[in-house]
């Protein structure tokens, strides 16, 4: 299946030849993709507060953007052309979209981000732009023209509500039909225009910036015990030059910054928490009628444990990271939890034998995982 997805290439060949190097167009990569949610269900997602959505329209050459939730009445009034509704993280709410995302798990889970679904009326698009991350564009229905320009330093349109490229000069053009897949490396300029009402799935990959990681690391260190004493100057003397920053205050700042110390262990722990932390809008839902602990244990040995679509479980060494928290299992439990993390599903019997019943029950009560009956 993966060979067809990548146009006959193995994952290794694709990563060597195309990943972050050059685009790849695959005709008929997923001809049976279908639409995981109908138009009504998709529009309902855009109306929710726990879902990221945008409504992008163009009139008389001017672009407008409305951020969700988008009222249903607003969508019902949209004209017959030149607009697009985009919903991010559809994989968090739809099993079919989550399965689509997992088709790309030849890239490490720490790099997988989400499936964004766009519904475009004829003429709809979001203008010429470039992304800082890798993306696969899968045409689910309808036809869309994509124009591409290789990565360079683009000039942006001043004052536009989107990060639009002002000097876009496309070098390639492709017509995508249902089932076609287009891979774009980071930085490539691209513009897609729907020729008719169409659905496109964008499989995006996470590419954290150095500044994001640095800020998260400082937060991590602060939570673990910076001394928080306030500056004091009981021997203060009258200021001669009142706007000058005093030497004592400079020394205080130097002493505070000397506390910023870390080890490789801190870096690994912070990175695991950072990569698994849920996005701000993600909400886990606990079971409406949770099983009692004995009933959970009895059912565990007869069921498969499946991570919730919103759960991110990664590991590094002997430490596991679940939704922004650190978990340190016993040595004999690591292999079983790693299998659950890699496959996102594992037999309950093996997990129970590893002595993970109490931990799994806590995760179940928080909505992080579910029990599925074996067939």
Where does CATH 2.60.120.650 sit in the chain? Answer: 2-205
**Residues of the chain where predicted confidence (pLDDT) is lower than 70:** 1-3, 34-37, 225-227, 375
Alpha carbon 308 to chain centroid distance? Answer: 15
Residue 52's pLDDT is: 95
Residue 14: C-alpha distances to residues 10, 18, 86, 134, 171 (Å): 6, 5, 28, 13, 22
Specify whether the CB–CB gap between 101 and 112 falls below 8 A. Answer: yes
Residue 218's pLDDT is: 85
Q: Which regions of the chain does DSSP assign to beta strands (E)?
A: 24-26, 53-59, 62-67, 83-87, 112-120, 129-130, 135-141, 144-149, 172-176, 181-184, 189-194, 198-205, 303-307, 313-316, 319-322, 325-327, 345-347, 369-373
The fold adopted by the segment(s) 2-205 is Jelly Rolls (2.60.120)
pLDDT digits (tens, 9 = 90+) for 26-43: 999 998 776 656 788 999
Residue 297's pLDDT is: 95
Residue 223's pLDDT is: 79
Residue 131's pLDDT is: 94
Residue 265: C-alpha distances to residues 214, 227, 270, 293, 325 (Å): 16, 20, 9, 35, 15
CATH code that applies to domain 293-373:
3.40.366.30
Residue 3's pLDDT is: 66
Residue 1's pLDDT is: 53
Residue 34's pLDDT is: 64
Where does CATH 3.40.366.30 sit in the chain? Answer: 293-373
> How many whole angstroms separate alpha carbon 167 and alpha carbon 98?
36
Residue 38's pLDDT is: 79
pTM of the model: 0.89
> How many whole angstroms separate alpha carbon 256 and alpha carbon 222?
11
């Amino acid at each position: 299946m993966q060979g067809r997805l990548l146009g006959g290439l193995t994952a290794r060949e694709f990563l060597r030849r195309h990943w972050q190097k050059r685009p790849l167009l695959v005709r008929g990569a997923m001809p049976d993709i279908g639409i995981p949610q109908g138009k009504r269900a998709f529009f309902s997602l855009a109306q929710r507060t726990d879902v990221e959505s945008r409504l992008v329209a163009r009139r008389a050459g001017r672009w407008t953007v409305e951020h969700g939730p988008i009222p249903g009445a607003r969508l019902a009034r949209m004209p017959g052309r030149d607009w697009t509704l985009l919903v991010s993280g559809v994989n968090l709410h739809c099993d079919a979209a989550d399965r689509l995302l997992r088709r790309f798990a030849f890239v490490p889970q720490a790099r997988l981000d989400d499936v964004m679904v766009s519904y475009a009326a004829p003429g709809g698009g979001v203008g010429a732009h470039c992304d800082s991350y890798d993306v696969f564009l899968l045409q689910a229905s309808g036809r869309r023209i994509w124009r591409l320009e290789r990565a360079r330093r683009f000039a942006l349109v001043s004052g536009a509500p989107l990060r639009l490229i002002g000097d876009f000069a496309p070098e390639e053009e492709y017509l995508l039909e249902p089932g076609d897949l287009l891979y774009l490396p980071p930085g490539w300029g691209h513009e897609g225009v729907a020729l008719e009402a169409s659905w496109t799935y964008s499989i995006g990959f996470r590419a954290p910036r150095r500044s994001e990681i640095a800020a998260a690391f400082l937060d991590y260190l602060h939570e673990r015990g910076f001394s928080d004493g306030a500056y004091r100057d009981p021997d203060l003397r009258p200021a001669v030059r009142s706007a000058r920053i005093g030497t004592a205050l400079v020394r205080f700042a130097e002493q505070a910054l000397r506390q910023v110390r870390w080890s490789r262990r801190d870096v690994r722990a912070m990175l695991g928490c950072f990569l698994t932390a849920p996005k701000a809008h993600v909400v886990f839902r606990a079971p409406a009628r949770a099983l009692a602990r004995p009933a959970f244990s009895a059912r565990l040995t007869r069921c498969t444990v499946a991570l919730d679509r919103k759960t991110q479980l990664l590991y590094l060494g002997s430490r596991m990271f679940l939704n922004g928290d650190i978990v340190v299992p016993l040595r004999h439990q690591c292999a079983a939890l790693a299998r659950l993390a890699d496959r996102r599903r594992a037999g309950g019997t093996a997990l129970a034998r590893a002595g993970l019943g109490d931990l799994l029950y806590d995760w179940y009560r928080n909505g992080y995982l579910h029990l599925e009956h074996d067939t």
